[in-house]
């Protein structure tokens, strides 16, 4: 029999612990078209050592096999729970913050995020919704089109002459930073993670907005080539639109559309 006082104190702690555990489960590690199953296994191990367990695989070239399981060591459960997606867009659709990792710095200057800040931001935003951290193909990384769909870009400041990390090691570093932020948070009061009222749109909602923008502005003759849309995407991604702001922009597009068809 546990005393009432003990029961009361345990039951007040449990939701807090549960919440803290869940926060890491909001962070999705997404691997794009991985060539070697062994890298998937090593990535799962890297994740689990840091307390992360949500792995998403986009069209892996090799299925999870013995090699993957061997390299995952004790993290077979992460592999077993992995979710599969056909496309990049499908994998990020329900995420409100999308961070792409890249060994290259070109074109990304305005949206770069430091590894330490990335860990903190991922954790803060995990409090509000799902967060995606994306890792590219072993040989060619992420495409420019994929990078354009990320709010932030994370580059580990490696040796400029030899800067490309092994995929699972890049996963390890990103997860380590998240863990450091999580441990720091655990040691401080719960209130330090902003419990913002703000709601951010999912990647899918943002994608609908871009499609809507492109359709209308092609229709009115403003958008004539791909580069305008690329610039607009960059601009809107950088603005970190909140849901009510996105609704405002959608409303403006719809109003213009309606007035044209009067």
Instruction: Identify the burial level of 36 via C-beta atoms within 10 angstroms of its C-beta, where 0-12 means exposed, 13-18 middle and 19 or more buried.
Output: middle
Burial of 90-102, coded b for 16+ CB within 10 Å and e otherwise, reads bbbbebbbbbbbb
- Which of 49, 62, 158, 247 binds ligand SAH (CB under 6 A)? It is 158
- Which of 1, 2, 5, 140 binds ligand SAH (CB under 6 A)? It is 140
Binding letters toward ligand SAH, positions 162-201, x by CB under 6 A: -xxx-x--x-------------------------------
**Nearest approach, Cβ of 105 to ligand SAH (angstroms)?**
9
State the DSSP H helix or E strand holding residue 100, giving kind and residue range, or none if neither.
Answer: strand 95-101
- Which of 85, 156, 217, 236 binds ligand SAH (CB under 6 A)? It is 156
By the rule CB under 6 A, 135 interacts with ligand SAH: yes
By the rule CB under 6 A, 91 interacts with ligand SAH: no
| Polymer length of the chain | 262
How far is residue 199's CA from residue 95's CA, in Å, rounded to a whole number? 12
**Nearest approach, Cβ of 204 to ligand SAH (angstroms)?**
22
Which residue, 85 or 156, has its beta carbon nearer to ligand SAH? Answer: 156
Question: What separation, in Å, do the N-terminal and C-terminal C-alpha atoms of the chain show?
Answer: 74
By the rule CB under 6 A, 93 interacts with ligand SAH: no
Sheet of strand 112-113: strand arrangement: 83-85, 54-58, 27-32, 130-135, 95-101, 152-154, 112-113
Which residue, 2 or 140, has its beta carbon nearer to ligand SAH? Answer: 140
By the rule CB under 6 A, 253 interacts with ligand SAH: no
**HSE, side-chain direction, 13 A CA sphere, residue 108:** 25
Tell me which residues touch ligand SAH (CB under 6 A).
Answer: 101-104, 135-136, 138, 140-142, 154-156, 158, 163-165, 167, 170
């Amino acid at each position: 029999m546990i005393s009432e006082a003990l029961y009361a104190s345990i039951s007040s702690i449990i939701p807090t612990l549960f919440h803290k555990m869940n926060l890491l489960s909001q962070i999705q590690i997404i691997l794009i078209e991985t060539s070697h199953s062994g890298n998937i296994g090593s990535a799962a191990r890297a994740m689990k050592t840091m307390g992360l367990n949500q792995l998403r695989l986009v069209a892996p070239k090799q299925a999870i096999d013995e090699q993957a399981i061997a390299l995952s060591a004790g993290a077979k459960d992460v592999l077993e729970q992995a979710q599969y997606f056909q496309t990049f867009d499908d994998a990020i659709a329900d995420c409100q913050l999308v961070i792409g990792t890249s060994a290259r710095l070109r074109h990304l200057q305005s949206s770069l995020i430091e590894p330490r800040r990335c860990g903190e931001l991922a954790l803060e935003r995990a409090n509000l919704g799902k967060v995606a951290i994306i890792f590219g193909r072993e040989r060619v990384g992420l495409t420019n089109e994929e990078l354009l769909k990320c709010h932030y870009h994370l580059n580990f400041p490696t040796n400029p002459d030899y800067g490309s990390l092994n995929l699972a090691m890049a996963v390890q570093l990103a997860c380590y930073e998240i863990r450091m932020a999580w441990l720091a948070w655990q040691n401080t009061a719960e209130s330090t993670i902003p419990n913002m009222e703000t709601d951010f749109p999912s990647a899918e909602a943002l994608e609908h907005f871009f499609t809507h923008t492109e359709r209308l502005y092609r229709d009115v003759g403003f958008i004539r080539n791909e580069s305008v849309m690329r610039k607009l995407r960059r601009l809107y991604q950088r603005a970190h639109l909140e849901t009510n702001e996105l609704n405002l922009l959608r409303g403006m597009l719809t109003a213009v559309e309606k007035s044209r068809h009067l």
